[in-house]
């Protein structure tokens, strides 16, 4: 009897993921639901779900229902490969939206998604390594590369009057990418890095690293790491030890968890860079209104715009291709995202489908930008400067 | 010198305390039940969240709520032993080891299911460190962790050497067949092994989470160094596991001190590796571990 119950339970679990009807069209959504950026994820799942819901409310995908199939990378390379294998080989999705961390995105792309010939579009993977990926033109992202964020961050730090800083970055695709670009750009522009080191994630104490970083009287500490892991611990331990009072972070550190952890007072003088949307973008307002109408709040959270846009673009690409043929996805994605064509914005699914039915070309301009891919599947973009405001963050400046 | 004490020695002793408390359970289970308990890290996580749950209701110092975490881990450990490990005990131990891997995943998933996968902190804000003699700056929490571990070590020593149950435990660890024929109550010994291991796991989890933050992978990330500590100290020797925990913690943190010149002796990126090199080196020259534990 016990065996039977176990079997039924296991079958129910397996079945829950793949209970699909004939008219369903699946889209793979790969996210780092657990792991170092877990705190970012809930609003992003809402963003992806919103795109799918709008599609289904406005006539559906390929005449049927669109279904988002989630995979959790657990925030690790191995977990990303496992989850992506499942999406492309078992769920047979034609296109994958995700994932969010650079490391998991690249691992999933190289080991599972590219070999399967599936197109992939990441909303937030910022590592420069994505640009040179041997991807047969299959991997896209709608967030600017760290080469870009690193250079802008260097300008921002100098503009803030800081010409001597210490730098620490996490030893993964994200940290190394942005850290090295920052260092090169900052030193080329006349700044001095008093000490720099690469640190490992998942340690409990970074005090020995901090002790060596504090030498040489730096004016601030530049931390390129995730708030949910090493980044948050480094800031906290630096303050506890009285080593640094001013911090400069990137999008990985700009997490409400950091404020919860060390308190807003301790971060008064610190600032953060993060990819953002152009000012006065009507598409962004449309999305935020729809998002808050559906979920009550959270439209202004980090990467909601990018995640929604990436999901909506992936859905448009399937509709454009007219089938779930994997080979057609990458070209279809370029077709719907890039000029020329009739402009389509967030939520305008019925309009897009009607235009495609008439045989017209469309050009999606999203909440996060206009998604014009270059040959490597990269986009240019906007970087915002953020400061702490109460228990959230406030954008004070946009650099293009 | 002051820098050494403030930024290297105290943090090293704190990490060492956490490893030591976790390693005691691993070592005792290894010695008495004869299998590598891979769910021990996640048992720590479970205890941490038990304390977190209590902290949400009772707004007092989280350290006072540790008993809630201990009750949760003890009950879970005894239940898991009864339901999953005991039926496999007659089979080769690899079955139990693999089963404990499964239990580790169950614990972690339960924590995610009930409390969510986000990082959670016990209290917001940074507490100023305690300043002694105008120069030594030590975090109150670190001092609490180190002192608590020292007290636990003394109590554990007395329990194992002076009480009847403690002595039975050592006897079973040293020679299970002999202990059985001499009429020792093995079931009771097994029960006490879980109670002590699980209680200490909850304390270790609490200090680890207070030192940083609570998240579902908290214990799993600490599992490897705790195993290293248990093996270093000698399998089945709780005092050895304590010493092993402190040694691993000290080796990790102190290897990156600038012993020679101005640069770190070994880049902090490699500090985990240093701990394992110490363990391997010791095992080559003294395979039974520091305290003459069982040979694997």
Residues A201 and A119 in one domain: no
Q: Which of the residues A205, A227, A388 would you substitute to probe the B interface, choosing the one with the greatest number of B C-beta atoms within 10 Å?
A: A205
Residues A248 and A393 in one domain: yes
Query: What confidence score (pLDDT) does residue A16 get?
Result: 44
The fraction of chain B above a pLDDT of 70, given in percent, is 94
A contact residues 250-269, partner B, Cβ 8 Å cutoff: 257, 260-263, 265-266
Nearest-Cα distance to chain A for B173, in Å, is: 32
What domain range is A298 assigned to?
24-144+281-364
Asked if residue A107 belongs to a domain, the reply is yes
Yes or no, beta carbons of B117 and A211 under 8 Å apart: no
Rounded-to-integer distance, Cα A169 and Cα B269, Å: 11
Q: Please give the average per-residue pLDDT across A72-100, as a whole number.
A: 92
Q: How many domains does chain A have?
A: 2
CA B158 vs CA A71, A82, B25: distances in Å: 51, 48, 17
Rounded-to-integer distance, Cα B167 and Cα B46, Å: 29
Q: Which of the residues A10, A43, A194, A207 would you substitute to probe the B interface, choosing the one with the greatest number of B C-beta atoms within 10 Å?
A: A207
Residues A337 and A394 in one domain: no
Burial of A295 (0-12, 13-18, 19+ CB in 10 A): middle
Asked if residue A85 belongs to a domain, the reply is yes
Asked if residue A319 belongs to a domain, the reply is yes
Mean pLDDT of chain A: 86
Query: What confidence score (pLDDT) does residue A132 get?
Result: 83
Q: What does the pLDDT look like over A248-303, one tens digit per residue?
A: 999 889 888 888 888 888 888 899 988 877 767 888 888 989 999 999 888 888 88
Closest residue of A to B8, CA-based?
A: A208
Question: Domain with A192 in it: what CATH number?
Answer: 3.40.50.2300
Burial of A42 (0-12, 13-18, 19+ CB in 10 A): middle
Yes or no, beta carbons of B272 and A200 under 8 Å apart: yes
Residues A43 and A114 in one domain: yes
Instruction: Give the number of other CB atoms < 10 A from CB of residue B86.
Output: 14
Whether the per-residue pLDDT at A10 is higher than 80: the answer is: no
Residues A168 and A248 in one domain: yes
Give DSSP secondary structure letters for A34-69: SSTTGGGHHHHHHHHHHHHHHHHHTT-BTTBEEEEE
Closest residue of A to B264, CA-based?
A: A212
Of A233, A241, A265, the CB nearest to B212: A233
Residue B135 neighbours by CB under 8 Å, 6+ apart: B2
Of A200, A211, A261, the CB nearest to B7: A211
Of B11, B125, B263, the CB nearest to A205: B11
Asked if residue A97 belongs to a domain, the reply is yes
Yes or no, beta carbons of B121 and A260 under 8 Å apart: yes
Whether the per-residue pLDDT at A230 is higher than 70: the answer is: yes
Q: Which of the residues B5, B7, B255 would you substitute to probe the A interface, choosing the one with the greatest number of A C-beta atoms within 10 Å?
A: B7
Of B117, B125, B268, the CB nearest to A208: B268
Whether the per-residue pLDDT at A138 is higher than 80: the answer is: yes
Phi-psi region of A76 (alpha: psi -120 to 50; beta: other; left: phi over 0): beta
Rounded-to-integer distance, Cα A115 and Cα A258, Å: 38
User: Is residue B151 helix, strand or coil?
Assistant: helix
Residues of chain A neighbouring B12 (CB-CB closer than 8 A): 205
Asked if residue A17 belongs to a domain, the reply is no
Query: What confidence score (pLDDT) does residue A200 get?
Result: 85
Whether the per-residue pLDDT at B7 is higher than 80: the answer is: no
ω into residue B58 within 30 of 0, thus cis?
no
Nearest-Cα distance to chain A for B134, in Å, is: 14
Whether the per-residue pLDDT at B177 is higher than 50: the answer is: yes
Nearest-Cα distance to chain A for B81, in Å, is: 17
Q: Please give the average per-residue pLDDT across A38-65, as a whole number.
A: 91
Instruction: Decide which of B1 and A144 is more confident.
Output: A144
Residues A176 and A253 in one domain: yes
A contact residues 183-212, partner B, Cβ 8 Å cutoff: 197-200, 202-212
Question: Is B204 in contact with B44 (CB distance < 8 Å)?
Answer: yes
Asked if residue A13 belongs to a domain, the reply is no
Nearest-Cα distance to chain A for B131, in Å, is: 11
Q: What does the pLDDT look like over B184-234, one tens digit per residue?
A: 888 888 899 999 999 999 999 999 988 878 888 888 888 988 988 998 888
Query: What confidence score (pLDDT) does residue B264 get?
Result: 65
Residues A190 and A233 in one domain: yes
Please name each of the domains of chain B with its CATH number.
2-285 (1.10.3470)
Q: What does the pLDDT look like over B225-282, one tens digit per residue?
A: 898 899 888 888 888 899 999 999 998 888 877 777 666 677 766 777 887 888 888 8
Residues A132 and A272 in one domain: no
Query: What confidence score (pLDDT) does residue A4 get?
Result: 47
Q: What does the pLDDT look like over A102-134, one tens digit per residue?
A: 889 999 999 999 999 999 999 988 888 888 888
Asked if residue A322 belongs to a domain, the reply is yes
Instruction: Decide which of A23 and B95 is more confident.
Output: B95
Residues A130 and A28 in one domain: yes
User: Beta strand pairing status for A192-199 and A164-170?
Assistant: parallel
User: Is residue A398 helix, strand or coil?
Assistant: strand
A contact residues 159-178, partner B, Cβ 8 Å cutoff: 171
Nearest-Cα distance to chain A for B256, in Å, is: 7
- DSSP secondary structure letter of residue B65: G
Residues of chain B neighbouring A33 (CB-CB closer than 8 A): 117
Residues A64 and A164 in one domain: no
Residues A43 and A64 in one domain: yes
Whether the per-residue pLDDT at B2 is higher than 90: the answer is: no
Residues A110 and A67 in one domain: yes
Asked if residue A370 belongs to a domain, the reply is no
Query: What confidence score (pLDDT) does residue A97 get?
Result: 94
Query: What confidence score (pLDDT) does residue B59 get?
Result: 80
């Amino acid at each position: 009897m016990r065996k039977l119950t176990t079997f039924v339970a296991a079958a129910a679990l397996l079945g829950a993921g793949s209970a699909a009807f004939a008219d369903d069209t699946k889209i793979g959504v790969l996210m780092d639901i657990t792991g170092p950026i877990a705190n970012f994820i809930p609003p992003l799942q809402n963003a992806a779900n919103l795109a799918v819901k709008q599609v289904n409310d406005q006539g559906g995908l390929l005449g049927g229902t669109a279904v988002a199939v989630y995979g959790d990378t657990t925030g690790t390379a191995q977990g990303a490969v496992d989850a992506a294998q499942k999406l492309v080989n078992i769920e047979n999705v034609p296109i994958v939206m995700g994932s969010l961390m650079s490391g998991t995105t690249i691992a999933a792309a190289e080991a599972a998604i590219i070999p399967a010939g599936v197109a992939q579009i990441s909303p937030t993977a910022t590592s420069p390594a994505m640009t040179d990926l041997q991807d047969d033109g299959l991997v896209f992202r709608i967030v600017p590369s760290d080469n870009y964020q690193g250079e802008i961050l260097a300008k921002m730090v100098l503009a803030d009057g800081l010409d001597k800083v210490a730098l620490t970055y996490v030893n993964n695709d994200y940290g190394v990418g942005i850290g090295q670009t920052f260092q090169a750009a900052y030193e080329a522009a006349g700044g001095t890095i008093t000490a720099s080191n690469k640190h490992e994630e998942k340690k409990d104490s970074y005090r020995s690293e901090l002790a060596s970083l504090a030498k040489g009287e730096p004016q601030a500490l530049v931390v390129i790491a995730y708030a949910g892991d090493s980044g948050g611990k480094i800031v906290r331990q630096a303050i506890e030890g009285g080593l640094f009072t001013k911090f400069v972070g990137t999008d990985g550190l700009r997490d409400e968890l950091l404020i919860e952890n060390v308190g807003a007072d301790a971060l008064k003088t610190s600032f953060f860079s993060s990819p953002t949307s152009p000012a006065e973008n009507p598409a962004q307002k449309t999305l935020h209104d729809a998002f808050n109408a559906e979920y009550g709040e959270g439209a202004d959270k980090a990467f909601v715009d990018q995640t929604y846009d990436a999901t909506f673009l992936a859905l448009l690409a399937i509709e454009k291709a007219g089938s779930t043929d994997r080979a057609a996805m990458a070209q279809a994605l370029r077709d719907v995202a890039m000029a020329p064509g009739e402009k389509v914005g967030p939520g305008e699914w019925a309009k897009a489908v009607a235009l495609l039915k008439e045989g017209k070309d469309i050009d999606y301009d999203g909440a996060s930008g206009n998604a014009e891919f270059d040959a490597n599947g990269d986009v240019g973009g906007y970087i915002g400067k953020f400061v702490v405001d109460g228990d959230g963050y406030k954008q004070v400046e946009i650099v293009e | 010198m002051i820098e050494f004490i403030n930024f290297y020695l105290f943090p090293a002793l704190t990490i060492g305390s956490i490893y030591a408390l976790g390693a005691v359970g691993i070592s005792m289970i290894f010695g008495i039940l004869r299998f590598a308990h891979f769910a021990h890290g996640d048992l720590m996580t479970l205890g941490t969240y038990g304390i977190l749950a209590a902290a949400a209701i009772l707004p007092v110092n989280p350290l006072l709520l540790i008993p809630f975490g201990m009750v949760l881990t003890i009950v879970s450990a005894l239940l898991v032993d009864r339901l999953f490990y005991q039926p496999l005990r007659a089979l080769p131990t690899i079955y139990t080891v693999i089963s404990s891997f499964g239990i580790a995943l169950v614990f972690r998933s339960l924590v995610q299911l009930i409390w969510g996968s986000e990082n959670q902190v016990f209290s917001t804000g940074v507490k100023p460190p305690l300043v002694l003699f105008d120069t030594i700056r030590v975090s109150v929490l670190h001092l609490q962790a180190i002192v608590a571990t020292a007290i636990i070590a003394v109590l554990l020593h007395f329990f194992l050497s002076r009480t009847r149950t403690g002595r039975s435990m050592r006897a079973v660890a040293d020679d299970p067949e002999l202990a059985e024929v001499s009429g020792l109550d093995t079931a009771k010994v097994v029960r006490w092994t879980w109670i002590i291991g699980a209680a200490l796991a909850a304390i270790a989890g609490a200090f680890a989470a207070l030192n940083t933050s609570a998240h579902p992978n908290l214990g799993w990330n600490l599992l490897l160094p705790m195993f290293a500590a248990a093996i270093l100290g000698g399998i089945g020797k709780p005092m050895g596991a304590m010493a092993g925990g402190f040694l691993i913690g000290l080796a990790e943190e102190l290897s990156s001190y600038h012993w020679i010149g101005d640069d770190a002796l070994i880049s902090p990126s490699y500090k985990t590796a240093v701990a394992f090199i110490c363990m391997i080196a010791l095992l080559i020259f003294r395979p039974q571990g520091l305290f003459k534990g069982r040979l694997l």
